[in-house]
Amino acid sequence: MKAVRVGIIGCGNISSIYFEAGSKFPILEIVACADLDMTRAQAQAEKYGIPYACTVDELLAMPDIELVLNLTIPASHADIHLKTLAAGKHTYGEKPLAIELEDAKQILSLAAEKGLLVGSAPDTFLGGVLQTGRKLIEEGWIGEPIAANAFLMSHGPESFHPNPDFFYQKGAGPLFDMGPYYLTALVHLLGPVKRVTGSAASYAKERMITGEVNYGRKFPVETPTHVAGVLDFHNGTIATMVMSFDVWGSRLPFIEIHGTAGSMILSDPNEFGGKVLIKRLDYNDFAEVPLSYGFTTNSRGIGLMDMAFAIRDGRAHRASGELGYRFYKASDSGQHYQMSSICDKPELLPLGMSQQGFTK
């Protein structure tokens, strides 16, 4: 099968794992990269053997590029997605799809109008743990799902990140930065969300770096740092979700799914590997279930790979742009937020699938 030619816009820290995807997944051929900082684009091009380092406009004008990978900062996501679609190319980006809901709708509308695909990270739900968890649910190991819990309990990245300012700007915070991993996992496991309610708050106007690099430097907080919500799913499941950068320590699990015949605990949805634990009515305690699927190491780019095969096969891709939600709207209004749209539950990967390809 002919490889899909890819251009990357944004050559920051996250880009390296995606550049590596060009050598891991034969369906992807990365032919150009662009960045506002040309030296950074040139450095990544040289490091990974990419033929062209260029400006954004030059990359979008290249007729042989079919798919653009958008790795810019969140504030630029919508603009780059729209420019990519206007140039007649498929677009895939890091989360969030857009900061504003209306921008996301515009992106999806333009893609539909032009017959193009829109993809969005995270793609960790395609990893071994969440794929195995989904298979066990569908096989009835815990009965019919009735409840779920999802928790990100941390005190933020300022203890280890040298420049954590971005994490506290609009478009980031625990909900937008880490929440997509949990939300995508829940939709993958349980299907689409019908209704959302939540509360969000910030407990400090500024933070201080406590890691070795830049220790003591303070920076402003411009987004909620503690978000609590409830999601009602179309299948009847009710999920509780807490995303926080204000917690000093916790023993809460990452994700739990509770059914009529048992309970399941799943590892960090920010990772591809980990453990799946099951406790049924006749179990004394949780037991670990062997993983049925591969991709248990850092496999970022698998969503891009699936999208490339979808382009060639003429099918829907799994890490689609429709996977997105918001608690802030419910918190601001003091009311439930009824979802006005619905997304499809992503298909399970085929068992035994490898880096060489997917089946339909």
Low-confidence winner among 35-39, 130-134, 167-171 (lowest mean pLDDT): 167-171
Position 232 scores a pLDDT of: 95
Distances (CA, A) of 146 to 229, 237, 263: 17, 4, 10
Is pLDDT at 70 greater than 80 in this prediction? yes
> Of 3.50.50.60, 2.120.10.80, 3.90.1530.10, 3.40.50.720, which CATH number belongs to 4-123+300-319?
3.40.50.720
Contacts 24+ apart (CB under 8 A), 215-221: 219/164, 219/165, 219/168, 220/165, 220/168, 221/168
Q: Are 195 and 336 in contact (CB under 8 A)?
A: yes
Is pLDDT at 204 greater than 80 in this prediction? yes
Distance, in Å, from the CA atom of 235 to the CA atom of 191, rounded to the nearest integer, reads 7
Distance, in Å, from the CA atom of 133 to the CA atom of 355, rounded to the nearest integer, reads 21
At 329 the three-state DSSP class reads helix
Distance, in Å, from the CA atom of 291 to the CA atom of 310, rounded to the nearest integer, reads 25
Position 341 scores a pLDDT of: 64
Q: Are 308 and 315 in contact (CB under 8 A)?
A: no
Distance, in Å, from the CA atom of 15 to the CA atom of 3, rounded to the nearest integer, reads 20
Report domain extents, the chain: 4-123+300-319, 125-288
Question: For residue range 146-181, what is the model confidence (pLDDT) as tens digits?
Answer: 999 999 999 999 999 888 998 999 878 999 889 989
Q: Are 136 and 334 in contact (CB under 8 A)?
A: no
Position 347 scores a pLDDT of: 85
Distances (CA, A) of 223 to 102, 136, 163: 19, 37, 16
Share of the chain above pLDDT 70, in %: 92
78/75: higher pLDDT:
78
- Residue 180 per-residue DSSP state: H
Who contacts 79 (Cβ-Cβ below 8 Å, separation ≥6)? none
Report pTM.
0.88
Is pLDDT at 61 greater than 60 in this prediction? yes
Is pLDDT at 325 greater than 50 in this prediction? no
Position 344 scores a pLDDT of: 74
Position 181 scores a pLDDT of: 93
The mean pLDDT value of the chain amounts to 91
**Confidence band (pLDDT; 50, 70, 90) for 324?**
very low
- Residue 159 per-residue DSSP state: G
Is pLDDT at 260 greater than 60 in this prediction? yes
Q: Burial of 282 by CB count in 10 Å (0-12 exposed, 13-18 middle, 19+ buried)?
A: exposed
- Residue 276 per-residue DSSP state: E
333/33: higher pLDDT:
33
Q: What residue type is 309 in one-letter code?
A: F
Query: Of 329, 354, 351, 355, whose CA–CA distance to 340 is shortest?
Result: 329
Question: For residue range 212-242, what is the model confidence (pLDDT) as tens digits?
Answer: 999 999 999 999 999 999 999 999 999 999 9
Residue with tokens 């909620």: 224
Question: In the numeric block, which tokens belong to residue 84?
Answer: 């990519």
- CA atoms within 13 Å, Cβ hemisphere of 258: 9
**Confidence band (pLDDT; 50, 70, 90) for 33?**
very high
Position 357 scores a pLDDT of: 58
CATH for 125-288?
3.30.360.10
Position 356 scores a pLDDT of: 56
Q: Are 90 and 311 in contact (CB under 8 A)?
A: yes
Distance, in Å, from the CA atom of 34 to the CA atom of 355, rounded to the nearest integer, reads 26
